[in-house]
Amino acid sequence: DAGVTQSPTHLIKTRGQQVTLRCSPISGHKSVSWYQQVLGQGPQFIFQYYEKEERGRGNFPDRFSARQFPNYSSELNVNALLLGDSALYLCASSLAGGQAYEQYFGPGTRLTVT
């Protein structure tokens, strides 16, 4: 079975631009979470979506938004990019929201803002 997939793998953007990152969960998984991992640090929670509804939001500015589609795939959008947004963005999926089910992580999208 395919694991969590993310696209693109890498991308380079300029300050002030907007970016959209995509995630496809494991088949049958209905919960998707997004994390930001800055170089040399642990991942930081951004959002969790379950059944297309936002279930959790981390301490990130409103420039960050996300949504989940009927097929449970998800997009993370970041507007007005800053240099500090350069990071590895990880998507994780799990069977259900609200409980500590095992989360499966994708390979990530490495975003570089210049």
Partner 1 sequence: AQSVTQLDSQVPVFEEAPVELRCNYSSSVSVYLFWYVQYPNQGLQLLLKYLSGSTLVKGINGFEAEFNKSQTSFHLRKPSVHISDTAEYFCAVSGNGNEKLTFGTGTRLTIIP
To the nearest whole angstrom, how small is the minimum distance from the Cβ of residue 16 to partner 1? 28
Please identify, using beta-carbon distances, which residue of 80 and 96 lies nearer to partner 1.
Answer: 96
Q: What is the DSSP string of the chain?
A: ----EEE-SEEEE-TT--EEEEEEPPTT--EEEEEEE-TTS--EEEEEEETTEEEEE-S--TTEEEEE-TTS-EEEEE-S--GGG-EEEEEEEES-SSS-PPPEE---EEEEE-
Residues 42-101 binding partner 1 (CB under 8 A) are: 42-45, 48, 55-56, 58, 90, 92, 94, 97-101
The residue count for binding partner 1 (CB under 8 A) is 29
What distance lies between CA 30 and its chain's CA centroid? 14
- Rounded to a whole number of angstroms, the minimum distance from the CB of residue 5 to partner 1 is 11
Site for partner 1 in 14-53 (CB under 8 A): 31, 33, 35, 40-45, 48
To the nearest whole angstrom, how small is the minimum distance from the Cβ of residue 65 to partner 1?
17
For the chain, how big is the Rg over CA atoms in Å?
13
**Residues in contact with partner 1 by the rule CB under 8 A:** 4, 31, 33, 35, 40-45, 48, 55-56, 58, 90, 92, 94, 97-108
